[in-house]
Every structure is written in structure tokens, then in C-alpha cells.
Amino acid sequence: MPVKFNINKAIQLFNQSGGNTKFDKSLSQVLNFMQNDDNVSNKKEASYFLATAKTESDYSLQRWESDYLCGEKGVPYNGKPCQKALNYYRSSNGKANYYSKGVDSTGVPYFGRGLIQLTHNYNYDKYGKLIGVNLLEDGDKALIPENSYKVASAYLNRKTFKYVNKGDLTQARKSVNGGTKGVADTNREYERWLNIFNNPQVKFKSLFWTRKKRILFSGILLVSLGVGGFFIYKGLKK
């Protein structure tokens, strides 16, 4: 079920609590996307979603791995990343040689992109299919804000929220990072957002009527009306 809350008040409390980001406009976008997201159903999930976004991309929907090598962080590239970044993806100084694991139709490997830094061809394939976008063919589509959000939502819903709801934040972090790198920062940001959403002024609430439930209910209602109409028609013909 989706969630609803006062975005302006949440951002105000975020700033007052010492929260910070260079990408304040992107954070606002994320909070707006979240209010129409059936994958986020409670305060814990919403808080961990945002905490992960902080750790992975500083809330930027358009961050890409090693963007700092090409200049300012979070600035979209034109065509391909700069040569320094491409060299980094090919080397073993950072992670394994991304080029050895395949490239998209533009000849660029599947390096980290988007809100939670989607990485590797199999993840681009899997989560692209889940959101209905061919990310395997064109990895840069993962940097489109709506796609970036949807990938993060689909990933966390499938891999992470089950641990968050159990209170196992260490395993939750492992489900994203593969290890515990950044776990302390993520947990601190999680507590920040949980406190924000627990503030009565934010008016956080979970909604029962998700988009999927509305569609399902409408379908059942139409079928029921159709069946009822059929029997009424049959009764009138007798």
C-alpha cells in the first residue's frame, strides 16, 4: 500500500535535524514518487528507502558511478562518461573490470547508475523487465528520474524490506551492498527519517487502497455487475 505524508514538513524537519544533501530537488522528487508507490507500505520501509538513497547516491536520481572523476558529482554526461571514468570501469582499481561483463548497445558497461547505483548486466536485465524498460540495451535509461526511482523501489521491495520489517538492519544493508560497507551511515539516516515520519506534523499514513487493489476491485465489480445483469435479463425473458 502506498504512503502519504506532508512533504514540505518532512523536508523542513530533515533540514532541522542536521540532514543534508547537495541534491535537494532530487530528494523532493523522490518523496513525491514515493507517495504513488505501492511497494512502500509503512514508516520503516519509507525510512530505509531514503537511508539507502542517501548512502548510495546522496538522494540523487541521476548519480552515476565515479562521476567525480569527470567533474562535478551528479552532472549528467553527454553520450558517454569521460575517459577517466571509462578507464576506471576497465581497471581493477575500483571493482572488477566492468567491460569483461558485457556492454550495452552504446558500448558502455553496466556500471552503477541511479538512486541505488544499479550495477551488472543481470540486474539491468532483471529490473528493467520489472519496470517495463529495456535497460539492458541502453543502460543510460536507468538515469531517467522515474526509471531510477522505480528500479530502487523494485529492488528494495524484493530484496530488502523483509529484513527492515524484522529489524535486521545489518542484513538489510547486505542485501543492497553485498557487505556491511556504509551500514553505520545508513542506520543513522534510517533513524533520522523514522523520527521525521513519527512526528505528528508530518501526518504520515499508510493507505489501504493501492492502485493495484483499486484495479482489482473495479474488475470484480464489473464482473459482478455483468453476472447480475445476465441473470436479471434471463429472469425478464421468462
**Residue 223 covered by a domain:** no
The pTM assigned to this predicted structure is: 0.86
89 and 111 Cβ atoms separated by less than 8 Å: yes
Orientation angle between helical segments 183-198 and 7-16, nearest 10 degrees: 130
pLDDT value of residue 72: 86
**Residue 76 covered by a domain:** yes
Distance CA 68, CA 137 (A): 25
pLDDT value of residue 208: 72
Question: If we measure between CA atoms, which residue out of 182, 212, 184, 193 comes closest to residue 44?
Answer: 193
Q: Residue 65 sits in a domain of what CATH number?
A: 1.10.530.10
**Residue 213 covered by a domain:** no
**Residue 28 covered by a domain:** yes
pLDDT value of residue 91: 84
Distance CA 83, CA 103 (A): 16
**Residue 159 covered by a domain:** yes
Per-residue pLDDT of the chain (238 residues; tens, 9 = 90+): 689 999 999 999 999 999 999 999 999 999 999 999 999 999 999 999 999 999 999 999 999 999 999 998 988 898 899 999 999 999 866 567 899 989 999 999 999 999 999 999 999 999 999 999 999 999 999 999 999 999 999 999 999 999 999 999 999 999 999 999 999 999 999 999 999 999 999 999 998 754 454 444 445 545 555 655 555 656 666 5
Domain total for the chain?
1
Name the one residue in this structure whose C-alpha cell is 572523476.
69
Indicate if the alpha-carbon torsion angle 171, 174, 179, 181 is positive or negative. Answer: negative
**Residue 85 covered by a domain:** yes
Domain that holds residue 64: 3-207
**Residue 216 covered by a domain:** no
